[in-house]
Amino acid sequence: MDWLKRFRLLFVALLFLFLAALILALQTGSDRETSFVEKTLMQTSFPLQQKTQGSLSWLRGVGERYIFLTRVQRENEGLKRMISALREENNRLQEAILAEERLKKLYPLQAQHSSPAIIARVFARDPSSWFKTLLIDKGEKGGISKDMAVIVSEGVVGRVIEVSAHTAKVLLVSDPNSAVDVIIQRSRAQGIMEGKVEEVGILKYVQKSDDIQMGDKVITSGLGGIFPKGLIIGTVTKVERKRPGVFQYIEVTPTVNFSRLEEVLVLGGEP
């Protein structure tokens, strides 16, 4: 059989070991001389004993290394889990720090208004390119109502157009359906800023005789009862006076990056 061939050397070694042990047992306590047969058996079994001892030592070493490697592997897996948990915790802490830094910019704005000024978090956006709205996590139960102004430290975001118990929808000033009464901060020229499909606004109803220049700041006028006066809304980035009609064509780039909004301040009305 195959297994007999495979373990033949081991069987022979064990047989010689047994015979050697038997001879030692027989001569224990006896002073007689060792016979030729006994000497032959001892001399023949000695190399086999060495090989057997070496095999047993090798097997013991393999077992010890296996146990050591198994323990190291378990410790390594435990360390990996610990590192992963620490990375997750570090990421959460980093996010908390960044959120606190963003909120610090809103706290001064909140303090400037005697009427309710509510901090809310953005949790969804309109995926379409035609309507520019976002959802916040405060609604009627949080003190939000329709037509409240929404701002951040960089400027005007938009106004609340729909409210449920716990959420509200905000129409961005860059939406084509948005219209805000504004003035040019430098020259005090007045107009109405409307949104476009692109991320710019159009400043309408500004006469060609009004002094409008590239880089002029556009702020809310306070008319209409929604946005308090003096809030920054954008910067003039294009002026054309050669078009037909009595009004200039003016493009305004909002100061707010709407794609990166995470927290906003909802104003309850003029202070």
Name the residue range of residue 183's domain.
Answer: 179-256
Residue 256 has pLDDT above 90, yes or no: yes
3-state helix, strand, coil in the chain (%, to 5): 40, 25, 35
pLDDT of residue 268: 78
Q: What is the pLDDT of the chain when averaged over all its residues? A: 80
Output 6 or 120, whichever has higher pLDDT. 120
CATH assignment at residue 195:
2.40.10.350
pTM: 0.64
Asked whether the beta carbons of 205 and 236 are under 8 A apart, the reply is no
Task: Return the percentage of the chain with pLDDT > 70, whole number.
Answer: 72
Please report the pLDDT score of residue 3 as a whole number.
Answer: 46
Query: Locate tokens 């005007």: which residue?
Result: 156
Are the beta carbons of 195 and 182 closer than 8 angstroms? Answer: no
Question: Does some domain include residue 131?
Answer: no
Nearest 5°: the CA angle 147, 141, 265 is 50
Inside any domain, residue 228: yes
Which of 19, 44, 65 marks a domain boundary? 65
Q: Is residue 144 part of a domain?
A: no
Q: Please name every residue paired with 236 in a beta bridge, in sequence order, or none if there are none.
A: 252
Structure tokens at 89: 């915790």
Q: In a 3-state reduction of DSSP, which class is residue 8?
A: helix
Give the pLDDT confidence of 172-207 residue by residue, as tens digits.
Answer: 999 989 999 999 999 999 999 999 877 789 999 999
Q: Is the dihedral of CA 183, 146, 125, 167 positive or negative?
A: positive
Count of domains forming the chain: 2
Residue type, 20: A
Domain-terminating residue out of 46, 65, 84: 65
pLDDT at position 271: 42
- Alpha carbons 170 and 136: distance in angstroms, whole number: 8
Find all residues with CB under 8 Å of 201, minimum gap 6, and list them. Answer: 173, 174, 193, 194, 195, 233, 234, 251, 252, 253, 254
**Alpha carbon distance 27, 39 (integer Å):** 12
Q: Considering the domain boundaries, does residue 262 fall inside one?
A: no
Question: Which pair of structure tokens corresponds to residue 4?
Answer: 């007999």
The pLDDT of residue 9: 56
Residue 61 lies in a domain: yes
What distance lies between CA 229 and its chain's CA centroid? 37
> Among the three residues 24, 39, 65, which one is the final residue of a domain in this structure?
65
Residues 149, 266: contact at Cβ < 8 Å?
Answer: yes
103-120 per-position pLDDT tens digit: 677 777 777 766 678 889
